Amino acid sequence: MALTSQPLQGKKRCKKIFWAVFPHACFILSLVIYAFLGALMFSHIEGNRKVNSSEAYRNFLQGLWSISKNLSDNMTENEEVFKEKIYNLLGTFEQEWFVDPKKIWNFFGSLFFCCTVFTTVGYGNTYPITRAGKYLCMLYALFGIPLMFLVLTDMGDILATVLSKCYNEFRKLQSKILDSKLCSVFTCKKESETKSRRSLLMKSKVVINEPLSIVEVLKSQSAFKRKPNQYRNAEIFEMLIAREKENTKLSRTKSIERWSSCPELERGKTMTSVIENFDKIGKELEKLDVPILLMILVIFVYISCAAAILPKWETNLDFQEAFYFCFITLTTIGFGDTQLQHPRFFLFLSLYIIIGMEIVFIAFKLGQDRLIAFYKKVISFCGDKKIAPKKIYPK
């Protein structure tokens, strides 16, 4: 029986783990599928577009030719004129005139563009040109941004629980170390006396093996009548608690037997637990109470790790530029002033981007809570502050 019960317990644990992980895996998998579908659509629409030499392109070439033709050898005389003309000419420049669409809008380029859309980063170096691509981009962002926020909230709950547990364990360890140092001989003696009193009370408690009635319990105790009234009341209260515990244990064992005997009900129970997991999304993030300085330190270390790795394949970036680029990405600002030469490699860090955006999101949430608490204190202080009454002097 013991050998057969162990594999059953293992299967039940595997089922519990599967149904606990299933909602989170669904969100991430749906986001990955959504990104791949968007990459296929944009690569088909924007990659196959025809590049036609427009009138603006011809005017740009004519203007560039006239500037280079009329420019004299002496640059010091015509430097200001040259700057003004070239500045006005570059204002009409369009990137798609000199770029092959199939090279930019391949699968990985389109996937990178889709990631910048639903993460709301939007660097601006890649954007749709065709009218169908622009309409598809609006529709894609309409459904992709809420999905990304859902993944951020869900994964943020997991990170919030991990951070809060780590911080609480650290605080417990710190308090234990302080208590061990501050523990004196007097407090130790006091604890030993309280433990001895508790052991005596536990020995004097009435033991009930069966859920009897209170009258039968009182009749069965021979030394009950000899004791004072206050001890009788205490023992009656203890007997009532013991009886209530026995009844709850019996009801729990019956419910467990019923669930294990009927697999259909067990399935319903697992499904209800899965639905409860969906309902709990965003609850753990509200309970997080970690110092804001600790979160800033975590963000700094997290961005520094990526800033040390990114210049390995992006040779035009050093540590400071990479740090700036990662910060702009994780905060979803995305100026577009720093462009990647190999965005395909940056896609492999998509998990890093998602987790980093969650950490920044948690930090923003903590900062928001601290600001609200600060404003509440200021308002309560201003409201409770009484104005001193003016003194009236007799004339």
State the alpha helices, DSSP H only, in the chain.
2-47, 55-70, 79-90, 101-104, 107-118, 131-182, 185-203, 214-220, 229-261, 263-279, 283-287, 292-309, 319-330, 343-347, 350-384
With 0-12 CB in 10 A as exposed, 13-18 as middle and 19+ as buried, what is 286? Answer: exposed
pLDDT for the residue numbered 36: 94
Instruction: Give percent of the chain with pLDDT exceeding 70.
Output: 66
Give the whole-angstrom CA distance, residue 250 versus residue 154.
38
Q: Show Cβ contacts of residue 230 under 8 Å, excluding neighbours closer than 6 positions.
A: none
Which pLDDT value is given to residue 137? 94
Burial degree of 28 (CB within 10 A; 0-12, 13-18, 19+): middle
For the chain, domains (ranges, CATH) are 1-51+100-182 (1.10.287.70), 190-280 (no CATH), 291-395 (1.10.287.70)
**Nearest CA-CA partner of 205 in 172, 177, 242, 173:** 242
Round to whole Å and give the CA distance between 187 and 192. 9
Specify the pLDDT at position 271: 56
Structure tokens at 82: 């040259």
CA of residue 345 relative to chain centroid, distance: 24
SS3 of 317, please?
A: coil
Please, what is the average pLDDT of the chain? 75
Closest CA relative to residue 250, chosen from 210, 218, 208, 207: 210
Residues contacting residue 221 through CB under 8 Å, at least 6 positions apart: 206, 235
- Band of pLDDT at residue 206, cut at 50, 70 and 90: very low
How far, in Å, CA of 362 to CA of 354, rounded? 12
Distance CA 108, CA 36 (A): 9
Q: What's the sign of the alpha-carbon dihedral 208, 211, 212, 214? A: positive
Give Cα separations from 278 to 31, 147, 365 (angstroms): 17, 14, 21
Cβ atoms 238, 217 nearer than 8 A: no
pLDDT at position 361, please? 85
Q: How far apart are CA 365 and CA 292, in angstroms?
A: 10
Question: Which of 124-133, 212-221, 366-375 has the least mean pLDDT?
Answer: 212-221
pLDDT-wise least confident of 112-116, 117-121, 152-156: 152-156
Tokens of 383: 């409201």
Tokens coding 158: 């997991």
User: Are the C-beta atoms of residues 160 and 287 closer than 8 Å to each other?
Assistant: yes
Between 353 and 213, residue with greater pLDDT: 353
Is residue 259 pLDDT above 50, yes or no? no
311-327: pLDDT as tens digits: 988 888 899 999 999 99
Give the DSSP letter string of 225-254: TTS-HHHHHHHHHHHHHHHHHHHHHHHHHH
Residue 206's nearest CA partner among 227, 230, 236 is 236
Q: Which residue has the higher pLDDT, 322 or 196?
A: 322
Lowest mean pLDDT among 4-13, 40-49, 256-265, 362-371: 256-265
Residue 390 pLDDT more than 70? no
Tell me 302's DSSP state: H
